[in-house]
Amino acid sequence: MAFLPLRDVGVAERAAEAYERWLGELAAALADPARDRNELCRRVLTELYYPEYLDEDPARLPLGTQLALMQMDPRNITLEPEYYAELDPERYYRVKPLIWLWEMFDKSPLGENVYLGVKLRRVLAQHIFRRCGRNFKAFHFVKLSFGYNLEVGDDVVVHRHVLLDDRGGIVLGNRVSIADYANLYSHTHALADGREVETPMTVLGDGVRVTYHATVLAGVHMAPDAMLGALAVATKDIPAGEVALGIPAQPKLKKPPAEQRPQHPATKDPLADR
């Protein structure tokens, strides 16, 4: 295979300056413990979707427009995790406005902008997750559950349309890579009655790769350097350096020892923190 490190892609200087100023203002607001995060979310989303109505009296607007504006405010909507009995309200309602901002940003005209989107989600993740390491990179339409039960190491990348169901907790070690349309679960339901729920923690060790459309079920531990193949479903732990394939996933391949792998030079991620 060819050695193809990521290439650097610039944006227009004017755009880059505007992006950094916007992100800086948001980061400063989130760093203020007295800041009302619901109001912050409402204002940011209204500026993105309906700037002409930012300071308008909603009572003067058509009812349909009023409803649309209500969706900018996380106090006017519910998300699925709010219905879970074990939710910690104090922790969840601290992060809910930021999860809603993340999701609605992704649906806005700005959401497909990789340069801006990765930076914005990184800022939000630092205030949503239990822990978020350096250079976290999430692409668009990543879906979170509680958010506050996520522990993420350094240089983790999560690609498009990934579900991180951290209801029971998810730990992602350093350099974990999760490909498009993968699902990571940390809760499961009893066969006899779906209201009986178990929430074991799901753990991916350092250097783990979960590839396209694969699923990791609740409580699975993937040891460092393990890999889950495309479309596979991990129902049991995967040992270090093993590549598990199929449904249910079984170790079928073994990665070569570190000393036998190609010794490519270190390269920089163009979307990493500067």
Count of CB atoms situated within 10 Å of the CB of 257: 8
What pTM was estimated for this model as a whole? 0.96
Alpha helices in 55-113 (DSSP H): 63-70, 89-107
Question: What does the domain layout of the chain look like in residue ranges?
Answer: 17-254
Cβ-proximal residues to 56 (8 Å cutoff; 6+ apart), any chain: none
Instruction: Give the list of residues 6+ apart from residue 167 with CB closer than 8 angstroms, or none.
Output: 81, 84, 86, 145, 146, 149, 185, 186, 187, 199
pLDDT tens readout for residues 50-81: 999 999 999 999 999 999 999 999 999 999 99
Letter for the amino acid at 230? A
130 vs 194: CA distance, rounded Å: 28
| Cα dihedral: 194, 200, 206, 207 (round 10) | -20
List the structure tokens of 61.
């607007």
Predicted pLDDT of residue 252: 97
> What's the angle, vertex CA 143, arms to CA 140 and CA 148, rounded to 5?
120
Task: Give the separation between CA 143 and CA 38, rounded to whole angstroms.
Answer: 19
**pLDDT tens digits for 151-162?**
999 999 999 999
Q: Which fold has domain 17-254?
A: UDP N-Acetylglucosamine Acyltransferase; domain 1 (2.160.10)
- Confidence at 253, pLDDT banded by 50, 70, 90: very high
**Helix residue ranges, H only, the chain:** 13-31, 37-49, 63-70, 89-107, 114-128
Residues 178-192 have pLDDT tens digits of: 999 999 999 999 999
Whole-number pLDDT of residue 150: 98
